Amino acid sequence: MPTPDIYSRLTAVFRDVFDDDALTLTPATSAADIDEWDSLSHVQLIVAVEQEFGLRFTSREILRWQNVGEMAEAIAAKLNA
């Protein structure tokens, strides 16, 4: 289970990458909810998330995420592993 700490760190990363200090995340947040979240910024976001948590994901893992909740689950799973 993703902890609130994961979400708060993710929120900070998202705010930085999308340059929006008012941005809030829920597990259901997806690219459809954030204007700037497109195919290009997606990769910048992944790089920033990996740096923040000191993790490395495979392309297959990343391509399956459809929203922030699935991303957070994957982070939690890797951190607990």
Partner 1 sequence: MPPRLRNPLLLLASYAVYWLLDARCLWLLVAATAVAYALGLAIERALQSGRERLASALTTLGVTAAVALLVAFKYLDFFAAEAAALLGVLGVKATWTALHLVLPVGLSFYTFKLISYLVEIHRTHLAAERDAVAFAAYVAFFPTILAGPIDRPAAFLPQLRAPWRPCAADLAAGFRMALWGAVMKVCVADLLAPLTDSVWADGGATAAGWAFLLYPVQMYADFSGYSLMAIGAGRALGFKVAANFNRPFLARNVAEYWRRWHMSLTGWITDYVFIPLNLHWRDAGRVGQAAAVTVNLVVIGLWHGANWTYLLFGLYHAALFLPLIRSGAFARRKKFRAARWGLPSRADAGRMALTYLLVAVAFVLFRAPTVGAALGFFAHLATAAAFAPPAVAGFRLLYVGFAVAALAWEYVARDRACPLDFAAHGLLRHRAARWAVYYALLALLYTHASGPAVPAFIYTQF
62 binds partner 1 (CB under 8 A): yes
Of 6-14, 22-30, 61-69, 72-80, the segment contacting partner 1 by CB under 8 A is 61-69
H helix count then E strand count, the chain: 4, 0
42 binds partner 1 (CB under 8 A): yes
23: nearest Cα among 11, 31, 33: 11
d(CA 47, CA 49): 6
Nearer to partner 1, 4 or 58 (CB): 58
Question: Which residues bind to partner 1, rule: CB under 8 A?
Answer: 35-36, 38-44, 46-47, 59, 62-64, 66
